[in-house]
Amino acid sequence: MTPRGEQPPRKEPPVPRPLLTRSAPSERPRAVALVLHGGAVHSTRPVDGRSASWQRARMLQQAIAPQLHEHGVAVWLLRYRVRGWNDVHDPSPAPDARWALERVRTELDVPVALVGHSMGARTAVRVADDPAVVGVVGLAPWLPGDEPVRALRGRDLVVGHGRRDRITSFALSQAYVERSRAVTRSSAFHDLGQLGHYMLRDRDRWHGFATESVLDVLGR
């Protein structure tokens, strides 16, 4: 019983499970592009359908899926459990991304290209050592100067960044790509000119770049 005049303790809402939204070609896919959305440096708030980062990634998925389907590539979108990165050594999105890769292996067992925006790109380079992953496409990535490159060993890396980005660093993305050359099969950095961070303006350029980069990583 709760003593009179006192409020019962508030129950914290349960942390949701990660969620996959799948878009598949008409025939069995030969590969999967797994889209990883952005987030925050610190946040334990659950991700839901109102999350702006997830909504941007959903628009990306819908835009690139038709052309990728023509090449036999399914496009899956992961929704993380919580919004934040939260810990340098044990980042919150990484287990969710590994769970999604396990789902690909269980359901299809095909090669995977990871497509990450902002924090999603940082997540992608952390989990690129999964056996299914052949490469990473980073869009306006968040790649600090001490972000490790070792998980990219033997993979392909393609990064696109605009010079008007005020959220993540164009220069640090360039530097990361240069550092990655020591371990990757190939690394490419693309200067996207006057594009910003959120992939809302000039979205056709973002979508076209993502589509072409996925096909390059997967070997067409």
One-letter identity of residue 72: G
Pair type for strands 156-161 and 186-191: parallel
What pLDDT is stored for residue 4 in this prediction? 55
Give domain limits for the chain: 19-217
Asked whether the beta carbons of 169 and 25 are under 8 A apart, the reply is no
Q: Which CATH class for the 19-217 domain?
A: alpha beta
What pLDDT is stored for residue 6 in this prediction? 56
DSSP code of residue 18: P
Helices (H), the chain: 52-70, 93-107, 119-127, 170-180, 203-217
What pLDDT is stored for residue 76 in this prediction? 98
Nearest CA to 149 out of 159, 139, 157, 161 is that of: 157
Q: Which residues contact 46 (CB under 8 A, 6 or more apart)?
A: 13, 15, 16, 81, 82, 83
- pLDDT in tens for each of the 220 residues of the chain? 444 555 555 554 556 799 999 999 999 999 999 999 999 999 999 999 999 999 999 999 999 999 999 999 999 999 999 999 999 889 999 999 999 999 999 999 999 999 999 999 999 999 999 999 999 999 999 999 999 999 999 999 999 999 999 999 999 999 999 999 999 999 999 999 999 999 999 999 999 999 999 999 999 6
What is the C-alpha to C-alpha distance for residues 74 and 99, in angstroms, rounded to an integer? 17
Pair type for strands 31-36 and 112-117: parallel
What is the C-alpha to C-alpha distance for residues 42 and 38, in angstroms, rounded to an integer? 12
Please give the full DSSP string across 171-212, using - where no structure is assigned.
HHHHHHHHHHTTT-SEEEEEE-TT--SSS-TTHHHHHHHHHH
Asked whether the beta carbons of 72 and 29 are under 8 A apart, the reply is yes
What pLDDT is stored for residue 16 in this prediction? 76
